[in-house]
């Protein structure tokens, strides 16, 4: 197995984020390989770390002033062992092949955990939608889809949103796909409700994270209610994480964006959260404006050297990182522990560095890894695909009930698989093992393809 990691690094030495995710994963599935020699014999790991297909393409587009820009588009189709490729699109200037590969790799095992038949993929572009007009974003999305359309399809590969890709972008992408293919199908998820979308899809990732956290707390006889929560980010995942914490009686103290964070000791209540949603989703403003409206809150700009704004030093009980990868360092994790945090549930993908995870382990912090805790988003995407293919739609209650049941099942599976390998209560091991076993056994069934 060390050889599999070394080969993976040797092949693409600059792909740091991809190596990080592969290393974390391979270490936890070692006991499975020891019990099942056929996985080694048939090179399951070597196959899993090499994407089935990678598509890189030029995206030329024109801004409102007539200036021409060229971005790079990506789609990494990692595994179709258990279903059509599925996973989001990220538009952010930091996007590169390492980031898309790490996200696609995570997605394979996350999707496996959802209990639905979904393979794993991820895509995006190094385009920065911040500060761009709606028409510029539309032209970018159309240019992006002008190439991507030939690689995707409702039974082949079904993209969705991620950082920088929300309802607006999915609309423009879908419109262009439909025009090019002359087909109205469920080729994307996160669609508008009037044209094939599912109720609860916008809420699903955030709600699912707190359903998962509630299960973890429940095992210790605790609840979300009355606890102080640190949340990072202020996008889709952070907003609905905060909303569900409020529904369940918890107190949200922080939110952030890439420019800084706010700390509101009184708590971000429903009215304040509605302000943040309008600020972020309609006006596309900065989180600092929260303090113009609620001056008792504190705004802390991002550290100019770090380029980042850790908010993990405030006293609290629980934390949900919901912005981006590697946003909790070892030092941040020590601050969390010192501040009294007993539960960390990952909202973003790979938000905790390996050093941070080691600190949580050392201090017996309840730790919910992303591929289990944030699987609610892609799970409801899977439910959107089901509704699209039936040409019907379920009620809000029906989708929410299914989401909740899926999250409970994932939580149970993590614990059961961890226990089966002598790692009681270890959600990281449980999630990795459960996700892996299903994909690996499908690969064996399907032969060397
Ligand atoms: P959004 O684009 O809606 O929001 C992202 C938030 O994180 C914004 O507040 C953004 O601030 C902040 N952020 C992003 N990148 C950085 C950065 N490099 N440094 C500091 N802040 C940053 O994205 P989502 O809420 O959809 O995604 C958040 C995380 O959740 C991502 O890791 C994503 O992969 C993961 N996720 C998303 C799912 C979904 O269904 N959308 C499902 C499962 C996981 P700013 O606006 O200033 O950039
Ligand atoms: O990271 C993720 O799981 C997502 N961005 C959602 C993917 C999806 O297909 O809904």
What is d(CA 298, CA 294) in angstroms, rounded to the nearest whole number?
9
The pLDDT of residue 304 is 83
Residues above pLDDT 70, as percent of the chain: 100
Q: Determine the average pLDDT of the residues in 305-331.
A: 93
Q: Distance, CA 377 to ligand 2 centroid (Å)?
A: 6
Tell me the sheet residues that pair with 142. Answer: none
Quick check: CB of 384 below 6 Å from ligand 1?
A: no
Write down the pLDDT at residue 249: 98
Mean pLDDT of 229-254: 98
Summarize pLDDT for 401-431 with one digit per residue, the tens. Answer: 999 999 999 999 999 999 999 999 999 999 9
β-pairing, 120-125 vs 68-79, is: antiparallel
pLDDT at 60 over 80: yes
pLDDT at 308: 77
* Block residue for tokens 């439910």: 383
* Position 177 confidence tier, pLDDT thresholds 50, 70, 90: very high
**Percent of residues, the chain, with pLDDT higher than 90:** 96
Contact assessment for residue 120 and residue 81, using Cβ atoms and an 8 Å cutoff: no
CB 287 within 8 A of CB 262: yes
- Render 62-121 in DSSP notation, one character per residue: E-TTS-EEEEEEEEEEEE-SSSSEEEEEEE-TT--HHHHHHHHHHHHHHHHHTTS---EE
Let me know: does 230 contact 318? Beta carbons within 8 Å: yes
d(CA 417, CA 425): 10
Mean pLDDT of 228-249: 98
Residues with CB under 6 A from ligand 2: 86-88, 107, 110, 160, 162, 189, 349, 377-378, 381
Distances (CA, A) of 298 to 262, 264, 267, 289: 6, 6, 12, 11
Find out whether the beta carbon of 380 lies less than 6 Å from any atom of ligand 1: no
CA of 104 to the centre of ligand 2 (A): 10
As a whole number of angstroms, the distance between CA 158 and CA 379 comes to 13
CA angle 409, 384, 416 (to 5 degrees): 10
Cα 329 to averaged position of ligand 2 atoms, centre (Å): 24
The CA 65 to ligand 2 mean position distance, Å, reads 34
End-to-end Cα spacing for the chain: 21
Q: Assess whether the C-beta atom of 257 lies below 6 angstroms from ligand 1.
A: yes
Average pLDDT over residues 365-384: 98
Angle at CA of residue 326, ends 320 and 328, nearest 5°: 50
| Nearest of 407, 390, 34, 358 to residue 205 by alpha carbon | 407
pTM of the shown model: 0.98
Average pLDDT over all residues of the chain: 97
Atom of ligand 1 nearest to the CA of 309: 20
Q: So what's the pLDDT on residue 432?
A: 98
Q: Which domains does the chain have, with CATH numbers?
A: 1-50 (no CATH), 52-183 (3.40.50.10860), 204-373 (3.40.50.720)
Atom of ligand 1 nearest to the CA of 302: 20
For the segment 72-88, the average pLDDT, to the nearest whole number, is 98
Query: Span 267-294, mean pLDDT?
Result: 98
pLDDT at res. 407? 98
Q: Which of 86, 101, 110, 122 is flagged as catalytic?
A: 122
Per-residue pLDDT reduced to its tens digit, 1-43: 677 778 888 899 999 999 999 999 999 999 999 999 999 999 9
193-228 confidence digits (pLDDT tens)? 999 999 999 999 999 999 999 999 999 999 999 999
372: pLDDT strictly greater than 70: yes
pLDDT of residue 1: 64
Output the pLDDT for position 8.
83
> How far is residue 242's CA from residue 196's CA, in Å, rounded to a whole number?
27
Active site residue 122: yes
- Show Cβ contacts of residue 147 under 8 Å, excluding neighbours closer than 6 positions: 57, 58, 59, 73
For 120-170, write each residue's pLDDT tens digit: 999 999 999 999 999 999 999 999 999 999 999 999 999 999 999 999 999
Average pLDDT value for residue range 258-273: 97
Average confidence (pLDDT) over 71-75 = 98
Q: Which residue is listed with tokens 């961890």? A: 418
């Amino acid at each position: 197995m060390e050889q599999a990691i070394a080969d993976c690094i040797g092949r693409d030495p600059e792909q740091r984020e991809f190596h990080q995710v592969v290393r974390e994963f391979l270490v936890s599935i070692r006991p499975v390989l020891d019990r099942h020699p056929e996985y080694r014999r048939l090179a399951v790991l070597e196959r899993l770390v090499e994407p089935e297909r990678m598509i890189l393409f030029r995206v030329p587009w024109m801004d409102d002033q007539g200036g021409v820009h060229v971005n790079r588009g990506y789609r990494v189709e990692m595994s179709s062992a258990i279903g059509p490729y599925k996973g989001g699109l990220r538009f952010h200037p930091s996007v590169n092949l390492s980031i898309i590969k790490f996200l696609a790799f995570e997605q394979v095992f996350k999707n496996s955990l959802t209990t639905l038949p979904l393979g794993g993929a991820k895509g995006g572009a190094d385009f920065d939608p911040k500060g761009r007009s709606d028409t510029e974003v539309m032209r970018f999305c159309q240019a992006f889809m002008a190439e991507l359309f030939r690689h995707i399809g409702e039974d082949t590969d079904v993209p969705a949103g991620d950082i920088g890709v929300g309802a607006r972008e999915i609309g423009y992408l879908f419109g262009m796909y439909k025009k090019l293919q002359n087909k109205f199908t469920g080729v994307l998820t996160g669609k508008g409700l009037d044209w094939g979308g599912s109720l609860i899809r916008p809420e699903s990732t955030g709600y699912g994270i707190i359903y998962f956290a509630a299960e973890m707390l429940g095992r210790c006889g605790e609840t979300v209610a009355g606890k102080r929560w640190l949340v990072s980010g202020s996008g889709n995942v952070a907003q609905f994480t905060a909303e569900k914490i409020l529904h369940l009686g918890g107190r949200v103290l922080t939110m952030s964006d890439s420019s800084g964070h706010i700390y509101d000791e009184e708590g971000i209540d429903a009215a304040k959260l509605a302000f943040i949603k309008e600020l972020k989703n309609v006006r596309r403003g900065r989180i600092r404006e929260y303090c113009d409206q609620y001056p008792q809150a504190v705004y802390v700009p991002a550290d100019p050297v770090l380029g980042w704004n850790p908010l993990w030093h405030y006293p609290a009980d629980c934390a949900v990182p919901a912005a981006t990868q590697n946003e909790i360092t070892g030092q941040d994790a020590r601050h969390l522990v010192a501040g009294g945090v007993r539960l960390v549930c990952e909202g973003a993908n790979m938000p905790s560095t390996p050093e941070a995870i080691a600190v949580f382990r050392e201090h017996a912090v309840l730790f919910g890894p992303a591929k289990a805790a944030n699987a609610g988003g892609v799970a409801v995407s899977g439910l959107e695909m089901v509704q699209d293919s039936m040409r019907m739609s379920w009620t809000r209650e029906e989708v929410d009930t299914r989401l909740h049941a899926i999250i409970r099942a994932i939580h149970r599976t993590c614990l059961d698989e961890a226990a089966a390998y002598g790692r009681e209560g270890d959600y990281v091991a449980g999630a990795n093992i459960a996700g892996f076993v299903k994909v690996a056994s499908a690969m064996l069934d399907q032969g060397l393809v």
